[in-house]
Amino acid sequence: MVDAYRKSEGTLCKRWLKIHAAPHATMPVHLNVRQIREALYAEIGTRAKLPEPSVRQRLAGRLFHECFAALILSLSESPEHRQGRWTSGLLEQELYERHFGPRLIEHLVHFRNDTRCVRDFWTSCHNMCVWLAGLMESAETSRAELVFHPEEAFSMELSMPHWSDTVMLSGVADLVVRFETIPYWCLVELKFSQGLPELDLAQACLYHMMAQKALPAPVGKLALVRFSPEPSETLFDEKDLFGVRIRLIEWIGKLAGVRNARFQGLTKAPEPCNEKIVEQAGRIEEIFHEYGLQVRRGGEPIPGPCFIRYPIRLGKGVKIGAVQKTAAEIQHRLGVETPPFIHLSEGQVFVDLQRPDRQIIHFRDVLGQLRKSGIGRGCSRIMLGVDLFNRLHTADLAQPEHAHFLIAGTTGSGKTEWLRAALAGLIATNSPKTLRLVIIDPKRNGFSDLQGSPFLWNDSALVYPDEQPAADVLAVLADEMDRRYRRFEQVQVEHLDAYNQTHDPPLPRIVCVCDEYADLINRDREERKTIEARINRLGQKARSAGIHLLIATQHPSRQIVRGTLDANLPARIGFKMNRDIESKMVLNQRGAEHLLGAGDMLFKSIGEVKRLQAPLMRPEERLRFFAGNFYRD
């Protein structure tokens, strides 16, 4: 495994290797360990012809690491840990009751049809408890206390003499541990399932490099511990990692686009920071210190179109919650209109502060980033929004985690504008043969431009509930779903894409939009029960039939969200909300109450929440797409 990386001469590599903060750098390229791993997997996995892990497997892996970190924290705070009383059975009970069970219930919408993934998840948790119990038994035998640091955040600047700029690396290591009587730390990288040995070693090596720069005591062994399908543990020392490190550094330089100007890296360079932005970064650091929080800058500020992102690093003992509580104080001291959004993303803590000169992202400017799937097949990718680097993010309606959307936000937050842009993006990458729309519009003014559009499912697909009951429209969609499944059974296919690959004309994908769900269900109690029952049925079964729900509300209360919507709409978009409790109802976390409005959004599916900016359509653009002129042209 290590020999695969030892293709460079050691002496030459030593002359090349230089890890420090480069004085000539003007704007480091930011990469995190997750980005590097995904890019490595794309290269190594393609060469080895390995299938990518499913979305559920990725989710189970993330939850496994969360459970491990939470269990380690519980152990560190318990008197039983200090007295060595934890057995594998007690660890399993603690893990299941406090961490595994609650997370499984929270993500039941993703796991309820995949019992094998849940079984593998628990098997890994069981093996992890056995491993931990053995480690603690060794510590008790040696009469030495174990010192745990789970999910340790690291960052470092990396440069080479032949690079045009520095690369800022960041990431969160699974565990740093040592026996109290031994002066060396051991870095532990945990693996949930069987993977690529070269890829796992490269990722662990990255953390080892960063730990060597950050920890006060030397870093000794690197342990790769795997818990599924069978538990295994492999130790590496410094000489084992040297060849890996050299090749990995050169590959990072290529990935970041600093090694060769002709290479198109993953990250587009943001606009340069002016003196005011740099000065503001120092002011934010000073404010944290004034409130007794040991926080320092974690890298260069990143100006985006709507806000400026300031990376920060937390000192020992500083919790993210304590930093987040200073948002109002930072707003007051800096004299800005809105409080900053302080959050954890990709292993690093950021302070997002509104730009005084906020820029508008126009629909026409991002339209070219949409990908088409080919003539006759249509495209199932729906437009979300752009990130700090003006890269458009999309979601695939054909995937279980993106099949149905819940969209929430207060008046003026950008809900309806996002729905319009999302539909226009689908129209731009499809034809009426591959896409049809059903619009339920209680407000009667959000989608009137679609009247007469060739993309409407039928003449009555633009629904005004005071004229046509929404429950009847949902019933017709459920009947269409059943009709399609009967056809799939006849030709022995499982889903819409498989059917359309072998049949002409294709069955169109149907997207049903409801712009104000709360208004829809608050008219009549019996009608509400009927609507919820039909949404429940469509949410559970309609994805494979190519029928999708986009349901929006400006009142994301417990009475509206809990139950039918929460269980059946896995993809979530949160715009500006009035209260943090509303953000938690939709996204399972606070944050949407600090958004800026006017299209500033948080997208949550499987994985971390992403902050994006929704594009804005001009009225003439909207008319061109919705009236069908774009398709006819």
In this predicted structure, what is the pLDDT of residue 27? Answer: 57
* Average pLDDT rounded to a whole number, residues 162-175: 79
- What's the rounded Cα separation, in Å, for the pair 145 and 578? 47
User: Could you tell me what percent of the chain has a pLDDT over 70?
Assistant: 84
At 612, the pLDDT band (50, 70, 90 cuts) reads very high
Q: Which of 202-216, 313-327, 483-497 shows the lowest per-residue confidence on average (mean pLDDT)?
A: 202-216
Question: What CA–CA distances, in Å, run from 291 to 285, 287, 295, 338, 566?
Answer: 10, 7, 10, 20, 38
Answer whether the bond into residue 102 is a cis peptide, omega within 30°.
Answer: no
Distance CA 383, CA 378 (A): 14
Give the three-class secondary structure for 163: coil
Q: Are 427 and 631 in contact (CB under 8 A)?
A: yes
Least confident of 12-26, 515-529, 567-581: 12-26
Q: Is 410 marked within a binding site? A: yes
Q: Which of 526, 16, 581 is nearest to 246 (CA)?
A: 16
Cα angle 302-304-306, degrees, rounded to a multiple of 5: 135
CB-CB contact of 295 with 303 (8 Å): no
pLDDT at res. 252: 85
Contacts of 596 (CB under 8 A, 6+ apart): 306, 307, 338, 354, 358, 576
Of residues 180 and 98, more confidence is placed in 98
Residue 412 is labelled as binding a ligand: yes
Is residue 388 over pLDDT 50?
yes
* CB proximity list for 483: less than 8 A, separation 6 or greater: none
Helix pair angle (415-428, 619-626), 10° resolution: 50
User: Above 90 in pLDDT, residue 446?
Assistant: no
pLDDT at 6 over 90: no
What's the pLDDT score for residue 25? Answer: 37
Compute the distance between CA of residue 352 and CA of residue 354 in angstroms, rounded to an integer.
7
Give the pLDDT band (50/70/90) at residue 14.
very low
Q: Is residue 495 within 8 Å of 421, Cβ to Cβ?
A: no
433 is in an annotated binding site: no
- Buried b or exposed e, range 205-228, using 16+ CB within 10 angstroms: bbbbbbbbebbeeebbebbbbbbb
pLDDT at 384: 94
Q: Is 413 annotated as a binding residue?
A: yes
Sorting pLDDT into bands at 50, 70 and 90, what band is 509?
very high
> What average pLDDT does the segment 498-519 reach?
89
Give 48's pLDDT tier (boundaries 50, 70, 90): low
329, 367 contact by CB (below 8 A): no
Rg (CA), the chain: 26
Would you place residue 79 in the very low, low, confident or very high pLDDT band (cuts 50, 70, 90)? Answer: low
**Short-list 351, 335, 340, 253, CA closest to 302:** 351
The domains located in the chain, with CATH, are 3-256 (3.90.320), 278-354 (3.30.980.40), 379-632 (3.40.50.300)
Separation CA 605–CA 407 (nearest Å): 12
> 7 pLDDT band (50/70/90 cuts)?
very low
Predicted local confidence at residue 267, as pLDDT: 39
Return the pLDDT at 181: 64
| Residue 259, pLDDT score | 60
Comparing CA positions, the residue from 515, 422, 533 lying closest to residue 477 is 533
**Three-class DSSP category at 437:** strand
344-375 pLDDT, tens digit each: 877 788 999 988 888 888 888 888 887 655 44
Residue 244 contacts by C-beta under 8 Å, 6 or more apart in sequence?
A: 2, 5, 6, 201, 202, 205
C-alpha distances in Å from residue 257, one per residue of 47, 102, 161, 253, 264: 22, 42, 14, 6, 6
pLDDT for residue 601 is more than 50: yes
pLDDT tier for residue 46 given thresholds of 50, 70 and 90? low
In angstroms, rounded to a whole number, what is the distance separating the alpha carbons of residues 318 and 325?
12
Contacts made by residues 68-74, CB under 8 angstroms, sequence distance 24+: 68/128, 68/150, 68/174, 68/175, 68/190, 69/150, 69/151, 69/174, 70/98, 70/99, 71/95, 71/99, 71/132, 72/148, 72/150, 72/175, 73/150, 74/98
Q: Collect all residues with Cβ–Cβ distance below 8 Å to 43 and sequence separation of at least 6.
A: none
Lowest mean pLDDT among 79-88, 148-157, 327-336: 79-88
Q: Which two tokens stand for residue 632?
A: 């006819």
Helix (H, G, I), strand (E, B) or coil at 628: coil
Distance CA 199, CA 179 (A): 28
Give the model's pLDDT for residue 407.
94
416 is in an annotated binding site: yes
Q: Across residues 159-166, what is the average pLDDT?
A: 71
- 276 annotated among ligand-binding-site residues: no
Q: What is the mean pLDDT of residues 489-501?
A: 90
275 pLDDT tier (thresholds 50, 70, 90): confident
pLDDT in tens, 538-575: 998 899 999 999 999 988 888 887 777 888 888 999 99
409 known member of a binding site: yes
Cα torsion for 8, 13, 16, 20, to the nearest 10°?
120
Q: Which two tokens stand for residue 112?
A: 């309820």
* Average confidence score pLDDT of the chain: 80
In the structure, what pLDDT confidence band is assigned to residue 84 with cuts at 50, 70 and 90?
low
